[in-house]
Amino acid sequence: MKAAVVREPFGLDNLKIENLPFPTGSDENALVKIDLVGVNPVDLNVVLKKVLYGIAPIPHIPGAEAIGTVLEDSNSFRKGDKVVIFPRFFDGTCNMCSKGREYLCEKGSLLGVGVNGAFCEAISLPETNLVRYPDSISRELAATLSVGALTPYHALKRVNAAPGSRLLVYGGSGNTGLLALQLGEMMGLEVSAVSSKPWVSRFLNGKLFAAEDEVTGMYDVILNSLGSVHFKSSLSHLAPGGSVVTFGTLTGRSSELDLGSLYTRENSVVGATGGSRSELLEMLKMLEYRKMEAPVEATYPLERIREALEHFQKRSSGRILVSVPQ
Ligand SMILES: [Zn+2]
């Protein structure tokens, strides 16, 4: 099969399409033909070897977010089933897994980072990494659920965002931002965003601020996955009892914290990563009743993976997808 493989020394120049043996399934492992892959910062960071986790194996196939079609019957899946790949590998038995937090599994790893990923024609996966999606959900939306949507959904669940809460999302036009806005609205939140893109306003029932220094008002929940830049100032927009959630370090890993303000206002700084399989199922359930848009800026065939990743760095109006031909 064809697969995008990155070899040492890592970098876009060393990401190439190679021919590898076609994988095989088993009773417990389903064999899945990859249909569509959503490009995320983690994919680029893996290729550039800039991830916070260890990459394995090397040479490596990146690709963390994908949908596919089951190729052979297995214990729980039938040939032809359309599936979203849940990207977290977990043992199901450790302390974290037993608490339903398999994304923190002590022996866990992430698709396209700790194990070979989805920029390929087919993959063999434990059945626990697959979730069926219905025909009513478009392929483009399905291909944005397991990372782009699950990450902010999990972030909102981490702080028990309740209906009526005021939400402020930094990077509202980004991979997760776009979905965060819509998920917040679905959960009954008053949704505002910081983004320089005017079109973001159509996803809001609150305010759009073009820049950080224009933000007004106080917020119960702030999603800020941008990293160091604006993290400290974003804390100043928290209402008493409010929480800021971080799940990215795009602009750096450090930030100052005013501990006095933190405790006197009972604010929380919360980390979030990925999300659980049950949260992915919850989102799929919500989408039976509610519409969500995942604007696509460009779709590239697998052979043009490098162009896809280059485009990803300068995208402006939606997601970059990689399609794998039938
Ligand atoms: Zn575990």
pLDDT per residue over 111-160, tens digit each?
999 999 999 999 999 999 999 999 999 999 999 999 999 999 999 999 99
Q: How many C-beta atoms lie closer than 10 Å to residue 190's C-beta?
A: 19
206 and 102 housed in the same domain? no
- Examine the pLDDT at 99 and tell me if it is beyond 90: yes
Map residue 83 onto helix, strand or coil.
strand
- What is the predicted pLDDT for the residue at 26? 87
For 281-324, write each residue's pLDDT tens digit. 999 999 999 999 999 999 999 999 999 999 999 988 899 999 99
Calculate how far, in angstroms, residue 171's C-alpha sits from the geometric centre of ligand 1: 32
218 and 260 housed in the same domain? yes
Calculate how far, in angstroms, residue 305's C-alpha sits from the geometric centre of ligand 1: 32
Calculate how far, in angstroms, residue 196's C-alpha sits from the geometric centre of ligand 1: 40
DSSP H or E stretch at residue 311: helix 305-312
Number of domains in the chain: 2
305 and 244 housed in the same domain? no
Calculate how far, in angstroms, residue 99's C-alpha sits from the geometric centre of ligand 1: 9
Is residue 26, in this structure, part of any structural domain at all?
A: yes
Is residue 153, in this structure, part of any structural domain at all?
A: yes
Calculate how far, in angstroms, residue 109's C-alpha sits from the geometric centre of ligand 1: 10
245 and 132 housed in the same domain? no
Is residue 288, in this structure, part of any structural domain at all?
A: no
Calculate how far, in angstroms, residue 95's C-alpha sits from the geometric centre of ligand 1: 6
257 and 303 housed in the same domain? no
- By CB atoms closer than 10 A (0-12, 13-18, 19+), residue 271 is exposed
Is residue 198, in this structure, part of any structural domain at all?
A: yes
125 and 160 housed in the same domain? no
Q: What is the rounded CA–CA span in Å between residue 253 and residue 50? A: 13
Is residue 139, in this structure, part of any structural domain at all?
A: yes
Calculate how far, in angstroms, residue 31's C-alpha sits from the geometric centre of ligand 1: 23
Is residue 238, in this structure, part of any structural domain at all?
A: yes
Q: Taking every pair of C-alpha atoms in the chain, what is the biggest distance, in angstroms?
A: 60
Calculate how far, in angstroms, residue 89's C-alpha sits from the geometric centre of ligand 1: 9
CATH code for the domain in which residue 190 is found: 3.40.50.720
Identify the domain containing residue 170 by its residue range: 148-271
- What is the predicted pLDDT for the residue at 53? 79
CATH code for the domain in which residue 32 is found: 3.90.180.10
Give the mean pLDDT of the chain.
95
Calculate how far, in angstroms, residue 267's C-alpha sits from the geometric centre of ligand 1: 30
138 and 97 housed in the same domain? yes
Calculate how far, in angstroms, residue 115's C-alpha sits from the geometric centre of ligand 1: 16
Q: Is the dihedral of CA 199, 139, 145, 312 positive or negative?
A: negative
